[in-house]
């Protein structure tokens, strides 16, 4: 059987939201209470968010790395009026997929 192309996979499924992730993990681990699975998922996501807010990098081996990128202040343009506007400096989250994830996406 030929694996589906990434485009086909994306079209076939809308993605996964946090509550669906919790449901899937709870179903795969019937020995755990649903509320405990939900607490674990929330704890992991909160810790990643807290680390990024501190400017730390979070690396999950085989999965990927979350980091924060600085976007310096710049002059932008209002697309409606063409008027120049000042865009403040900001920090944005960045994710770089790990080798194992990239290989799984490419069927290796």
Q: Render pLDDT for 2-44 as a digit per residue (tens, 0 to 9).
A: 555 555 555 556 789 999 999 999 999 999 999 999 999 999 9
For residue 71, the number of C-alpha atoms closer than 13 Å in the C-beta half-sphere is 10
* CB atoms near residue 98 (< 10 Å): 15
Residue carrying the six token digits 């120049």: 84
Q: For the CA atoms of the chain, what is the radius of gyration?
A: 19
CATH of domain 57-101+104-108: 4.10.520.10
For residue 1, name the pLDDT band (cuts at 50, 70, 90).
very low
Cα separation, 19 vs 33, whole angstroms: 15
Name the percent of the chain in helix, strand, coil, to the closest 5: 40, 25, 35
Give one word for 20, left, alpha or beta, with left for phi > 0 and alpha for psi -120 to 50: alpha
């Amino acid at each position: 059987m030929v694996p589906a192309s990434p485009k086909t996979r994306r079209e076939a499924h809308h993605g996964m939201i946090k509550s669906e992730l919790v449901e899937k993990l709870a179903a795969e681990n019937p020995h755990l209470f649903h509320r405990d699975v939900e607490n674990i998922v929330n704890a992991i996501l909160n810790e990643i968010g807290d680390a990024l807010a501190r400017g730390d990098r979070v690396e999950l081996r085989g999965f990927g790395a979350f980091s924060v990128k600085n976007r310096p202040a710049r002059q932008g343009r209002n697309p409606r009026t063409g008027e120049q506007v000042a865009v403040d400096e900001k920090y944005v989250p960045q994710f770089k997929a790990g080798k194992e994830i990239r290989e799984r996406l490419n069927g290796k």
